[in-house]
Amino acid sequence: MPNPPIYAPLPSRAVIALAGPDWRSFLQGLITQDVETLGPGEARFAALLTPQGRLLYDLFVVGREDGAWLDVAAEHRETIIQRLSMYRLRAKVEIAAPDLPVSARFPAPGEGRDPAGWVADPRLPELGWRGYGATAPEGVQLADEAAYEAHRLAVGVPGPADWGADKTYPIEANFDLLDGIDFKKGCFVGQETTSRMKRRGQVKSRMLPIVFEGPPPAAGAEVVAGELRAGEVLSGGDGRAMAALRLDRIGGGGLTVDGRPVRVERPAWFAAALGEEVA
C-alpha cells in the first residue's frame, strides 16, 4: 500500500487578514505577485521587497470571499503589519492578525489533487497543500515542522532561513522559477531592479542544494571551486544543504567546503524552468 500523506503543523508561520473594498489595489502595488485575478481558495506565492529590490519577506496570498489571508513568517508578522499600515494611507483596507494556525500536507501516491479545505502550494506540486485552521485529517501520518523542512530541502526549494532579510534579490532565491514574481502585473515596490535583472539575464548567482557526506557545514561556510570562491552554505541538515552559488563556477565539479567534497544538485523543476536538459 502507498504511504499515507503527511500532516505537519507549521508554527513558524502566521496569518495576516486583509479585508475592505481596496484590499486588492492596495496589495497589488506592493508585492511581486498579481492579486487582481486571485480567486477564493487560490494561493499565490509572492514577496515584499525593499525599494532597492532586495527580498524582505516571503508570503502566500490566499484568496477569500471577503478579502485575503497572508501566510507569513510568524517572527515577522508584527513588522509586516507595521509596514503594510505605513503604505495604507487612505486606502480602505482592514488589517488584522487572527489566531489561525498554519499547517502543511505533503502529497502522497494516489491521493487526490484537491483535498477539501486545503490550498495547493503554488510553488510546486511536490510541496503539497497548505491548511489554515485545519486539524489533522484521518488517515495521515503526523509529523513536525522539521519533517516538512526536510521535505522542502529534498525538493530543492529554498526557504526563509536561506535568504534572510534585505540581502538577497528574489531572483537569486529562485522566486521567478517558483511562480513568485509576475513580470506582467505592472509596478510594485522594488519592481525596477527585479525587472531589469530578468530582462538583461544578468543572474550570476542562484540558490541550489548541495550534497555531501556527514553533518552540514556551518552557515556562511565558503563553497570553493579550486582556488575560487563559488558561493556560501545557507541552511541544511545531514547530507544536504542549500547554498548561494555562482553559476559560472559550479559547472566543472571539484567543489569543496571546509576541505570536504560537495556536489551541486540541479532539481528537475529548476532545470526545466531554465530550459536545461533534465537528467
CATH of the domain at 24: 3.30.1360.120
Do residue 99 and residue 212 come from a single domain? Answer: no
Q: What is the CATH number of the domain that holds 258?
A: 2.40.30.110
Q: Are 146 and 104 in contact (CB under 8 A)?
A: no
186 within a domain of the structure (yes/no): no
| pLDDT of amino acid 137 | 84
139 within a domain of the structure (yes/no): yes
Q: Per the structure block, which three cell numbers stand in for 90?
A: 487612505
Do residue 241 and residue 117 come from a single domain? Answer: no
| pLDDT of amino acid 72 | 98
pLDDT in tens, the chain (279 residues): 567 889 999 999 999 999 999 999 999 999 999 999 999 999 999 999 999 999 999 999 999 999 999 999 999 999 999 999 999 988 999 999 999 999 999 876 666 566 888 999 999 999 999 999 978 888 889 999 999 999 999 999 999 999 988 889 999 999 999 999 999 998 999 999 999 988 887 789 999 999 999 999 999 999 999 889 999 999 999 999 999 999 999 988 789 999 999 999 999 999 998 877 555
152 within a domain of the structure (yes/no): yes
Q: Are 163 and 28 in contact (CB under 8 A)?
A: no
Do residue 18 and residue 69 come from a single domain? Answer: yes
| pLDDT of amino acid 109 | 61
47 within a domain of the structure (yes/no): yes
216 within a domain of the structure (yes/no): yes
Do residue 20 and residue 140 come from a single domain? Answer: yes
Point out the domain boundary residue: 111, 144, 162. Answer: 162
Q: Are 213 and 187 in contact (CB under 8 A)?
A: no
Do residue 209 and residue 73 come from a single domain? Answer: no
Strand, coil or helix: what is 57? strand
Do residue 158 and residue 208 come from a single domain? Answer: no
Q: What is the pTM of this model?
A: 0.93
Do residue 209 and residue 157 come from a single domain? Answer: no
Do residue 19 and residue 157 come from a single domain? Answer: yes
CA distances in angstroms from 145 to 7, 103, 111, 161, listed in the order given: 9, 9, 21, 14
168 within a domain of the structure (yes/no): no
178 within a domain of the structure (yes/no): no
CA distances in angstroms from 106 to 21, 110, 119, 130, listed in the order given: 35, 12, 12, 9
234 within a domain of the structure (yes/no): yes
| pLDDT of amino acid 1 | 52
Do residue 107 and residue 229 come from a single domain? Answer: no
Do residue 140 and residue 43 come from a single domain? Answer: yes
Do residue 13 and residue 137 come from a single domain? Answer: yes
User: What is the total count of domains within the chain?
Assistant: 2
Do residue 89 and residue 224 come from a single domain? Answer: no
Strand, coil or helix: what is 266? coil
| pLDDT of amino acid 124 | 95
Domain that holds residue 209: 204-279
